[in-house]
Copies of this chain bind each other. A is one copy, B any other.
């Protein structure tokens, strides 16, 4: 049995996103927020939440803190953001007293794309949380993505550390970090290479023409963006122009966290929760 905890649940968006999960075996929900409003939304959306655990709490911070507390006590397995600011939600989950952060870890967004022009699922990180990670933080972000891929059954994921070019150039920090990361033996069940350009990472044809010999070339499972500017732009490019289906989880905590935004479609939210549920 897995339990999903959602602070500030009183939103059409939240109720519709979880509607297809409500009747599943081995799955339950704890919804925290405006109980009356939540019931009203459920009725209007035709979603039966009769058996669902509802807790009244109208204050954003308190609702998020309660969610974190319940999870820290083992009463919840997955946290999902409701109608609340991301920073408040994450801050509550990261409060030291709850001990939900993995040792020496940091939180990062791991996004999984199904792209018509790519032959397998592609993970991208970090498109939403870390701005200009240091080399040490990059190690942690990559570890998080590998953890997610591993836990979804992808053994030895191929990680491409993205740069404009494949050679180290001290004027382009991403090439230096990409090379440094490729030389480390800290990543466990994964193959990390870099610096690699986008086309060599993801196109066998480009890799062939440019004579790239990396085992990651043309076959990356995880695309590691050197900073948020790159990750965020690629995320949107994949979905808007590449017709990609996307789902995402926040990794680095002891539990999967679903953190979709208001502008995401219902499908993105459903797929993200499904992704979190499938993590071992």
Contact = CB atoms under 8 A, between A and B. Distances in A.
B198 A237 contact: yes
Given A202-B236, A241-B244, 6 more contacts: A115-B241, A117-B243, A131-B164, A131-B171, A233-B233, A241-B241
A273 to B, nearest CB: 20
B229 A237 contact: no
A1 interface: no
A197 B234 CA distance: 11
B229 A163 contact: yes
A18 interface: no
Interface residues of A, number: 41
A126 to B, nearest CB: 11
Contacts of A235: 198
B237 A241 contact: yes
Interface in A169-199: 171-172, 174, 197-199
Nearest to A233: B198
Nearest to A238: B241
Contacts of A202: 236, 240-241
Contacts of A228: 164, 172
Contact of A198 (B198, B232, B242): B232
Given A131-B172, A132-B171, A172-B131, A199 B240 contact: yes
A234 B237 contact: yes
Contacts of A241: 115, 117-118, 202, 237-238, 241-242, 244
Contacts of A234: 233-234, 237
A139 interface: no
Interface stretch (A32-40, A149-157, A203-211, A248-256): A203-211
A229 B232 contact: no
A76 interface: no
Contacts of A174: 229
